[in-house]
Amino acid sequence: MIPYSTEYPYHVQIHRDTFSYGEVGSKADSRTVVDLRYFGKQQIPKDNRVPVSFGDEHVRGWQPGISDIYGMLQPTFYVTGSEEDHILTTSMLSPAYFYYGSPTVFCRMMADMTAVANIMGAFLPGSLPQFMEPGLALHITGTTRIGKDKNDSVADEFSVVHGYQNLWVG
């Protein structure tokens, strides 16, 4: 296991599902497929937020009266990447990046992913290791601001909500 660290600032999920793999698609035998999904760190702009409205209070961008079939209030996601993330992700989507780009965390992440995958076996046709477009995996950002100052964050570095001893968010 490679723990998350400054040297390895990413995490890995290992899946055994065959939802859509290249040219093989649903014909792949799920007993023989292992899917490695690596997720890298992003810079999170302070303006990213998920506001909701309680009662008659309206948060900027909130559209009153919109709820789901169970009456739950509509969250509105305001998420943008940093300029650094934009430069990294758009350049990473180009195959030329790996030949001419500078060695970055993302190159190391791809190299590690490919090395592990090669040890485990062959790639399915049309399903070579690749970077997905930002947001495709829907792991854009968390919804809880973590920090030491209760004026600009919800919880501390241990996910304990500021002002409470027994309330964690995740």
Mean pLDDT by 10 residues, the chain (170 residues): 71 74 70 82 75 56 66 75 66 50 68 88 82 63 80 89 90
State residue 69 phi and psi, 5-degree precision: -65, -15
For position 64, what pLDDT does the model report? 61
pLDDT, residue 85, reads 67
What mean pLDDT, rounded, does the chain reach?
73
Of 128, 110, 84, the closest CA to residue 8 belongs to 110
Burial class (CB in 10 A: 0-12, 13-18, 19+), 163: exposed
Number of residues assigned to the chain? 170
Rounded to the nearest 10°, the torsion over CA 46, 52, 56, 62 is 70
Q: What residues does each domain of the chain span? A: 140-170
pLDDT at 141: 60
What is the C-alpha to C-alpha distance for residues 148 and 21, in angstroms, rounded to an integer? 43
